Structure 1
Amino acid sequence: MSKKLAIFFPGIGYHNDKPLLYYSRKLAAEAGFQCVRVDYNGFASEIKGNADKMREALETAYSQTELILSDIDWKSYENIIFISKSIGTVVAARYAKEYDITCRNIYMTPLAETFLFEPCNGIAFHGTADSWADTKIIKDKCIEYDIKLSIIPDADHSLETADTMKNIAIINKVMDEIKKYL
């Protein structure tokens, strides 16, 4: 059996125990992946819409990620997957590029900044009511980088709507796609 590793990169307010990352981690573990959680802290408030605070948050998350992942022997793994959410998609794409890590990716609600690091080999999920990322930009960038994009109509940055039962159906659909990708 090949040695498999899944790294989880959360968002700022969307931590590793929220549904998208929690269930993704359970699926990865069921598929035989060793799971490593990256957790961040120390962010400023009111980041949304403030370019300086966003840059600062990205640097904070990235430096914490480097520290958390510093002891991993990447070459000992045959199958690596980065599963990321929001700001975590930027951190994951940057980390893979800067450390030259060959991995597959699951980008949940990627930000436009994610594409500054030429993300590759992955799938993405985006809601059309996501106030953190423009749907047209995300669609165009996913096409440019050959990332399979699943669009969830009327879903916000957490891939949720105002309808709880619809949200359960959304999480089921997303997890089904993730399970197939794993």
Structure 2
Amino acid sequence: MKNRSNYVIGYKNLKIPYVIQTKTDQPKGLAIMLPGIGYTVKSPLFHFSSGAFLNKGYDVLHVNYPYSSTDYEDFSLEEITSALINDVSKVLNEVVDHTFYKSYYVIGKSFGTMAIPTALDMLPSQSTKAIWLTPRLIGEQVFQTLRTCTQDSLCVIGDKDPFYDIDKMNHIIRNPSIECMMPPGANHALEVDNDILTSIDMVKSVMKRIDDFISLKNGVLNHEL
């Protein structure tokens, strides 16, 4: 596997590093990983998702925004969100403008899902899919995009997640482009509190659903309520 590291100059002239991983000279497409603030690309779901995409012949883009560093300690949540959208846009402009991929997947976790609407606007809609892991449903743009987007998407959120909202999920599952997985008992890490073995099984079941979604060629699977 080859890694290409680079960076863009992002919000307030701060460096935003990114890495492109590849295992083939003729990739099928590009998987764009947008982690959370505390849930990095080395965390289980991103680590295993990266492997799944690489094994299926995709390049993988890790956007490693350093929002936990002291450079951002005085930022409000609103300003960090503005930085996220600005920085992800700059990375995509840099990568997509200098490469050609036939298809795209955008994978966001928690805070990272707040940049998925912007990414979907920037990428060709007919060849782009999205995976929303524990989306911040309190964000109006996140909720409205999930409710109305036409790109095939997978949304995964547990009923013990602080951002879980049954009323909003009832709207989202009506979107025929969205496949929903709502594992009972799952918290914001998509694990089960105080139960290691069940948490391992939970991560495995989510990864199986992600792997199935990547393998899908036409449409989305049925909703899982």
Range into which the TM-score falls when normalised by the shorter chain:
0.7 to 0.9
Q: Give the match for residue 144 of structure 2.
A: 116
Check 1:135–1:57 CA distance in 2 against 1; reply closer, same or farther (3 A cut).
farther
Is the partner of 2:88 in helix, strand or coil?
Answer: helix
Q: 2:112 aligns with which of 42, 67, 88?
A: 88
Larger displacement relative to structure 2 (99-108 or 71-80): 71-80
Return closer, same or farther for 1:11/1:145 CA change in 2, 3 Å cut-off: farther
Structure 2 partner of 1:148? 179
Aligned residue-pair number = 176
Equivalent position amino acid for 1:91 in 2 = A
The residue aligned with 1:56 is 79
TM-score, normalising length from structure 1? 0.85
Matching of residue 29 in structure 1 with residue 61 in structure 2:
no
Are positions 1:175 and 2:180 aligned together?
no
- In the alignment, does 2:192 pair up with 1:161? yes
Deviation at 1:127, TM superposition (A): 0.6
| Residue of structure 1 aligned with 2:33, choices 5, 8, 29 | 8
What is aligned with 1:50?
none
State the one-letter code of the partner of 2:110. S
TM-score w.r.t. the length of structure 2 is 0.70
The offset of 1:174, in angstroms, is 0.8
Give percent identity, aligned residues only: 23
Partner Cα separation in structure 1 for residue 183 and residue 57 of structure 2? 28
1:70 alignment partner in structure 2: 93
- In structure 1, the gaps of 5 or more residues are 48-52
Given that 1:10 and 1:38 are in contact with CA atoms closer than 8 Å, whether structure 2 keeps it comes out as yes
Q: Work out which of the two has the higher radius of gyration on C-alpha atoms and give 1 or 2.
A: 2
Q: CA deviation at 1:4?
A: 1.1
Selected match of 2:45 from 20, 28, 35? 20
The Cα shift of 1:100 comes to 4.4
Report if the CA contact (8 A) 1:3-1:76 is conserved: no
Structure 2: gaps (5+ residues): 1-25, 215-225
Q: Secondary structure at the match of 1:143?
A: coil
From 124, 138, 146, the counterpart of 1:101: 124
Give the drift of 1:93. 2.0
* Structure 1 range deviating more: 29-38 or 81-90: 81-90
Q: Distance in 1 between matches of 2:187 and 2:29?
A: 31
Q: Secondary structure at the match of 1:71?
A: helix
